[in-house]
Structure 1
Amino acid sequence: MWRRALAMVLFMAGAALLAGAAGAGAQQGVWSIITRPMFQSMLSHRGDSGCQGAFYTYDAFIEAASKFPGFGTTGDEQTRRRELAAFFGQTSHETTGGWATAPDGPFAWGYCRVKEQKQTDPPYYGRGPIQLTHKYNYRLAGQALNLNLVGNPDLVASDPVVAFKTAIWFWMTPQSPKPSCHAVMTGAWTPSATDRAAGRLPGYGLTSNIINGGLECGKGQSTDGAKDRVGYYKRYCDMLRVGYGDNVPCKDQKPYGG
């Protein structure tokens, strides 16, 4: 009888250890940093009048993020928080509905837009959090996600999970000679001698360079677009209680191909 009792005690102890380990692992997920209340607070105006952003839901973000191991889960706590602040900083700029005197400030209006307003490259104009643009990006994203985005580009603007997947795919994927934004923000990228000579160093500024460096970086002073990206990033860093890190602006970085 005592052996059976001992076996039960050992079994329960082992189960408790496994549950604890599983719980610790779960806390490494994106949802442990971007909680539902945090998501709502960061993007509180996305469903306001004049915005389309009620389309972007927390559940869609979490489902999409779970398909990309490493996104928001790489490195120590500060690294993970900084990467997520950077991701939301860049995507909030791309979808902004803010203006200088907006309620709660210009950087409280991320994720207001789903579709590009000017639609410069129909039918492959900007859609979703990263504003996926150009046929080749729709093709590459579609291949990676096993979706026919070339044949149905509006899927990025009609399915919120797909919308978030395209944004995270772009964030996680290098496009030579550019590294991925993920690698930059998690310390996995080391600048070459050419990069250093061009002022391209690790930090948030390089993600701006990767996304739109030709128009916003290397001007010797920050452009309005680059300032907006930085404003969103700093707001989210403050909300997530993490430092900004080095090389936040891109004004002194030569653009790729420039």
Structure 2
Amino acid sequence: MVASAAAALAVVTLPAGVANADVGQISGLAGKCVDIAGANSANGTAVQLYDCNGTGAQQWNNTGSQLQALGKCLDVAGGGTANGTVVQIWDCNGTGAQSWVVSGANDIVNTQANKCLDVSGNNSANGTRLQIWECTGGPNQKWNAPPGGGNPPPNPPPSGNFVVSEAQFNQMFPGRNGFYSYSGLIAALNAYPAFAKTGSDVTRKQEAAAFLANVSHETGGLVHVVEQNQANYPHYCDWGQPYGCPAGQAAYYGRGPIQLSWNFNYKAAGDALGLPLLTNPWLVQNDASVAWRTGIWYWMTQNGPGTMTPHDAMVNNRGFGETIRSINGSLECNGRNPAQVQSRVNNYNRFTGILGVSPGGNLYC
């Protein structure tokens, strides 16, 4: 269920809810993004190529002379000017090592070295270090970046006004487990700024209702933090994966609002969110914000047994039924388990009613 990267340069899409058009992702080789390793804001943290995921580690502000993310500046290590000098993040200091211009030819040029931001070895693998190199016009030096002249974004990017108020959330989940806090959900929204902030007000509310309806079904109304059938716990370790199951055979059971399970899903979610979920899957059941982030990660990036992400289904008017297909379609859709589908639809109808919007069409799968 791991989403694959695009095969070509992606057009930069600014996350909805960010009013400043100078803040967004920088995408390049193989459609991947300029990323701060591990979402770590410490001086000297590597800047790399990674699957685009909408997190704050990939939200860059182009001031016209600097590129800023997580409150730091894109910086050439040691102020070097030689081919192959790696780039990193560092406290903004106004030196030439942090002076960048996005050209009309889609180059990002360090003006001190007069060299281009470059993907080492033309390698599109996640984690490939970025460097400066003599400008060649090659695809490993072409970037789609926000235009210049903006103001630095806060760290992390603001969640903005979520379309579900705390009172409405409590109305939706009157018997919820206290672990699933509204504040934890709001904190998690920064991981994917386009979530419930894309399209019209109606679309945004429908998407929020659809997400919460599905997680309500998965967790019994936000009651269960972990999978209840402990006999299943040892089944979720796929030793065929090269990284194995470092947390133990029975460590990758369902947790959180989408009941994240299997070692490969913990690995994928952890990589996307900059969290050590493969080695410490218990984070999902111990930290409400982490739990909510895994749910939003799946919603925004994974097709599951469907053909599109649940987010895409809602913002492209494909209907609530397509979100069911993307979450559990192989077991529920096409008449396999109509009672489970109806449970999800009932939740969705109730939640859209609380939010005061029509549920739209295509409710079933």
TM-score computed with the length of structure 1 as normaliser: 0.70
The runs of at least 4 aligned residues of structure 1 exceeding 3 Å deviation read 27-30, 174-177
Deviation (angstroms), 1:66: 2.3
Q: Work out whether residues 159 and 186 of structure 2, in 8 Å CA contact, stay in contact via their aligned partners in 1.
A: no
Q: Is 1:204 matched with 2:320?
A: yes
> Partner letter of residue 277 of structure 2?
L
Which residue of 210, 215, 219 corresponds with 1:91? 215
Higher strand share: 2
> Partner letter of residue 360 of structure 2?
G
> Partner letter of residue 118 of structure 1?
N
Which residue of 240, 249, 257 corresponds with 2:364? 249
User: Please, which runs of 5 or more residues in structure 1 have no aligned partner?
Assistant: 1-26, 47-52, 97-109, 189-201, 251-258
> Partner letter of residue 57 of structure 1?
S
Q: Please name the residue that 1:37 is paired with.
A: 167
- CA distance in structure 2 between the partners assigned to 1:127 and 1:134 by the alignment: 10
- CA distance in structure 2 between the partners assigned to 1:175 and 1:140 by the alignment: 13
Deviation (angstroms), 1:54: 0.8
Q: Please name the residue that 2:253 is paired with.
A: 125
Residues 30 and 86 from structure 1, CA distance in 2 versus in 1: closer, same or farther, beyond 3 angstroms? Answer: farther
**CA root-mean-square deviation:** 2.0
- CA distance in structure 1 between the partners assigned to 2:175 and 2:197 by the alignment: 27
What's the CA shift string for 1:54-84, capped at 9, x where partnerless? 1011111001012211101100010000000
Which residue of 249, 271, 281 corresponds with 1:143? 271
| Secondary structure of the structure 2 residue equivalent to 1:66 | helix
Corresponding residue pairs, total = 191
Q: Work out whether residues 320 and 364 of structure 2, in 8 Å CA contact, stay in contact via their aligned partners in 1.
A: yes
Deviation (angstroms), 1:222: 5.4
Q: Is 1:233 matched with 2:348?
A: yes
- CA distance in structure 2 between the partners assigned to 1:67 and 1:133 by the alignment: 20
Q: Work out whether residues 30 and 72 of structure 1, in 8 Å CA contact, stay in contact via their aligned partners in 2.
A: no
Q: Please name the residue that 1:214 is paired with.
A: 330
User: Please, which runs of 5 or more residues in structure 2 have no aligned partner?
Assistant: 1-157, 237-249
- CA distance in structure 2 between the partners assigned to 1:232 and 1:59 by the alignment: 22
Deviation (angstroms), 1:134: 1.1
Higher helix share: 1
TM-score computed with the length of structure 2 as normaliser: 0.50
Q: Is 1:54 matched with 2:170?
A: no
